[in-house]
Structure 1
Amino acid sequence: MSIKPANLSDPAVRAFVSAVNSHDRDRFMSLLAPGATMSDDGSDRDLDEWIDREIFSSHGHLEVDKETSGGRALVARYRNDTWGEMRTRWTFTVADDGRISRFETGQA
């Protein structure tokens, strides 16, 4: 059974999942700290290019199955129009101002 985004423990991660699932790019970008970085399957990627390709142009959606590390690590079923559905892991680094400075994802 999945965890509803509203029930996720960490406020920044909760907002991140909600922005992804509502396809709200402006809200998503407002959650990221200046200079935020990300990696996919262990390789750093260009953040803007990756989120456009993997989330927004392909209708990405997260169904969270498990959270650990105070809500800053997730195991989720991620689906988009390009790849279909896959089991993924997500970890988040949240800056002092509450914005996400880095996230890492990959297959779980």
Structure 2
Amino acid sequence: MRNTMILLCLLIGITASAQKPVTKGVQLDLTKVSNLQIKTAITALQNNDARTWFSLFTPNVIFCYDGYQTSFKGFFRKSFGHEHFTSIDRVENNGLDIYGSFHSDQWGDFKTYFKFQLNKSGKIWRLDVGQAAY
């Protein structure tokens, strides 16, 4: 009986760790995202994990929203818990450019792009975000 309980606990733990990111009941399929660093970033955004999200970026990250440079930390501090992808529709540029449907509590649902640039050490040094037309 004890061995059965241990096995059951292990199986539950393995299953839980393999689950897709969930935000407000939306399970996001990240299988299209081939770049591990970007997959980690999108997972952090989906799971409202600001600590992980911010740790993936350089201290002086350049952030452009709809073509205008703005405060990266200010923008995303307001976004966590209120904005998330609802689908990943297309991935380009070796897994660095993500296109998908997005939900914002303030602005509703729309298509978006997140274009990441990595430095040689794998940190994200630039992120461009905006509405996409595809």
Task: Please give the TM-score of this superposition, normalised by the length of structure 2.
Answer: 0.72
Instruction: Name 2:10's counterpart in structure 1.
Output: none
Does structure 1 retain, via aligned residues, the 8 Å contact 2:98–2:113? yes
Q: Deviations over 1:45-88 (max 9, x none)?
A: 111111122x2152x21121100110111111111211111101
Q: Which structure carries more strand by proportion?
A: 1
Q: How many residues align?
A: 104
Unaligned residue ranges in structure 2 (runs of 5+): 1-27
| Largest Rg, 1 or 2 | 2
Task: Please give the TM-score of this superposition, normalised by the length of structure 1.
Answer: 0.88
Alpha-carbon RMSD across the aligned residues, in angstroms, is: 1.4
Over the matched positions of the two proteins, sequence identity in percent amounts to 22
Alpha-carbon separation, structure 1, partners of 2:117 and 2:30: 18
Displacement of 1:6 after TM fit?
A: 4.9
- The match for 1:15 among 21, 33, 40 is 40
- The match for 1:39 among 50, 53, 64 is 64
Q: After the TM superposition, which parts of structure 1 deviate over 2 Å for at least 4 consecutive aligned residues?
A: none
Does structure 1 retain, via aligned residues, the 8 Å contact 2:118–2:125? yes
- Higher normalized contact order (CA 8 Å, seq sep 6+, divided by chain length): 1
- The within-5 A match list for 1:57-72 is 57-58=81-82, 60-62=83-85, 63-72=87-96
Displacement of 1:5 after TM fit?
A: 2.1
Unaligned residue ranges in structure 1 (runs of 5+): none
Q: Deviations over 1:1-42 (max 9, x none)?
A: xx7225411111101110000000001011111211211100
